[in-house]
Amino acid sequence: MTTRHEFVHNGSAYALSFDWGRDDFIQAGALGIVIEASVVRPGREPVVASLAVNVTPDEEGALWFSVTLQPGDVELARLPVSELLGGENAVTRILDRIPVQAIDPVLGCALRGGLSAVIDQLIGCWGDRPDKAFGFETAWSVLACIRDNGGKVGLKASARFLKCVSIDLFES
C-alpha cells in the first residue's frame, strides 16, 4: 500500500510518499515503511531522499526500530522500541540525525515530519494496549496497529509537510 501527497507552489512540485511494504508483513516478521520526499524545481535537477523504517521483533519478541537514509544507505538509528517509549529524548536524537541541510531543507524537513508521524503512531499503538508486556503477541498487535493507521499517519505527515513547504515559500 502506498500513499502519496503532492503540492505545487511557484512551479516547484513537492511530494511525500509512504510505501507500507508487504501486505503479508506479519508472515514476513517485520513492518517495513519507506518514506520518500522529492522536489522538482524549475530549471534544476529533481532531488529525492528516503528513509527506510523497519520495526522487527527479536527472538524474545521485543520490538526493534531502525531507520536508514537513502541515498547512501546510512543507518541513522537502531534501538529497542522500549527506548522510544521512554520519552522524547530518543525520538529527538533520531530526528536530529536526519541531515536536513545536506539533503535539501524542505525534503529534510518533510522526512523529519514523516518519520515523527510514524514514531507517534508506534507510541500510540503501544499505549493503546492494555497489556504493556513485550512478546510476539504484542509485537504483532503493534505492527498491525501501525499498518492499520497508515491513513492517519499520512495525514499527520502531510500537515507537517505543508509546514515545510511554507518555510520554502519564504526562502524562494
Residues 119-139 pLDDT 10s: 888 888 877 665 656 566 777
Element (H, E) at 161: helix 150-171
Q: Identify the three-state secondary structure at position 37.
A: strand
Question: How many whole angstroms separate alpha carbon 60 and alpha carbon 72?
Answer: 31
Distance CA 96, CA 39 (A): 21
Distance of CA 14 to the CA centre of its chain: 17
Mutual orientation of helices 88-96 and 105-127 as an angle, nearest 10°?
A: 150
The pTM of the whole model exceeds 0.75: yes
Which of residues 148 and 166 earns the better pLDDT score? 148
Q: Which pLDDT score, from 0 to 100, does residue 48 have? A: 92
Note whether 107 and 39 are within 8 A (CB).
yes
Query: Which sequence spans correspond to the domains of the chain?
Result: 2-171
- Comparing 33-47, 95-109, 134-148, the range with the smallest average pLDDT is 134-148
The alpha helices in 55-149, defined as continuous H runs, are 81-85, 88-96, 100-103, 105-127, 136-148
- Between 22 and 56, the more confident residue is 56
